[in-house]
Every structure is written in structure tokens, then in C-alpha cells.
A = this chain, B = another copy of it.
Amino acid sequence: MTLRQDIHSSGIPVLCLSCEARHRGVCGALEPDHLAQLAKTSSRHNIEPGVELIGDAEAVDCYSNVLSGVVKLTKSLSDGRQQIVGLQFAPDFLGRPFKMKSAINAEAATAVSLCSFPRAAIERLMKESPEFVHRLFKQALNELDEAREWMVTLGRKTAPEKVASFLLMIARNIGSSVDPAARSACFELPMTRADISDFLGITNETVSRQLTSLRMDGVIRIENNRRITVDSMSRLERRCGGRGATAV
């Protein structure tokens, strides 16, 4: 019994033992020996909000697991208009395989901690472990599903519906539900009103007005501008426009 346990945990690097990425993230696909090999080249970083992680058209020299915090992926037009095209939460994998340079910007929306790997280590692992590729593939497909979900929101929902859909998405990603059936939720908004507006394709004034409107109607409560409480998730869902961000 003790022997068996030894076998199981032996070889797994100490840092990885309690790591979320090993449970739900891409590292979950790795055997102990591959994990050990990867861990040798990995490094952990704590990053301040607002710091740019990957620049547009910049050479990508490392990949990372998001261990905590929220990373926003953005694209910009040359005249300054900006769109957030994705949000990454722990334990998402950050980086675009098969491409030398990134077509998007990645920036820490909140304080973020990362576990980073050199490009070469990931590429080697992709050659050696089909399981690993499989995981990366699945995450890419999930991101694709999410991107398409937001295309509907961007293209076809009204401003009130957009803001409600955003809150619902955030609640599902980082909300701590008070009761087990998730009838209510509470969370800290991981970004400013301006960020939210860049995510939803509207102005920050409109975001502000819609949040006020939701608060006035008793759908949400707001403390210190950032802390949101949703008493009835189903009431919020009803404001999202016919079955949209639900599928995430």
C-alpha cells in the first residue's frame, strides 16, 4: 500500500504536487517523467495588473499556465480602437503553438501568477506526448467555442444583454456560489469598466449605466465598485437574451 503510493507520487516534482494545472490543466496529460522533465525548465512569476505578457507581432519565446488571476487577450486597430478577444482563467494554457509571432496581445487584468516554460520544452513535449497535444487541442476547441459564443453577443445582443451576459460568464468562472445549487453568486470583477467595454464592444459609459440599471432593479448588488453579488442567477440569466452565453 505504502509502496504503491510511493510509486505514484515518486517523480512528480514538489511544485507540481498541488498545482491546479496538473489536475485540470494541460499538465494533467503528462506522465511523471515528462512532468519532471518539464518542471526542470519551468519558472514561476507573479505579475502586476496591467503588465503586458505577450506583445502583438512579438516573437513568442515561452508558454505559460495561468495559476491564478485573469489574463485578457486583446486585438487593436491602428487608430486605437481595442477589442478584448478572450479571457483566460486558471488553469488555462497561455500561448499559440505553431506560430512564431503572436497576433494578439496578452495582458494581466488582475494580479496574475504564471508557470512559464521555454518554447523548446513545449515543442519537445508535443513531439513526445500525444496525450499532451490532445489536451492542448481540446483547450483550443474550447476557446473556439467561447469565441463563437461571444461573437453572438457582440453581433446580436443589446447593451443590457451584453453586460448581463458578461456578469454571468464571470460568475461562472470565478464566482463563489453561496448555496450549492448556484442560485446566487459573489465575485470580484477582474477588470475595470473600460476593460469590460472593450470586451463587449461598447463604451465604458454604457457599461456603467447598465450596471447601475441592474443594481436599481435589484438583480445585483455592488460594493466598492468591484465586488458584485448576484442573489438570483436565474434573474440574471433572463437578462442575457434568449439562451446565449449559457453554453459556456
Q: Within the complex, which residue of B78, B98, B144, B156 is in contact with A83, where a contact is CB–CB below 8 Å?
A: B156
Number of copies: 2
Cα separation A133 to B200 with both chains bound (whole Å): 33
Q: What distance in Å separates the Cβ of A138 from its nearest Cβ neighbour in chain B?
A: 6
Q: Of B77, B133, B141, which contacts A244 at CB under 8 A?
A: B77
Measured between alpha carbons, how far is A4 from B145 in the docked complex, in Å? 45
Chain B residue nearest in CB terms to A80 = B242
Write the chain B residue with the least CB distance to A147: B147
* Beyond A81-B242, A130-B130, 9 additional pairs, beta carbon < 8 A: A75-B152, A78-B242, A83-B151, A103-B247, A136-B137, A140-B144, A144-B147, A150-B151, A151-B151
- 14 interchain pairs (CB within 8 A)? A77-B156, A78-B243, A79-B242, A81-B241, A83-B151, A85-B148, A85-B151, A85-B152, A103-B247, A133-B137, A137-B140, A144-B147, A150-B151, A155-B201
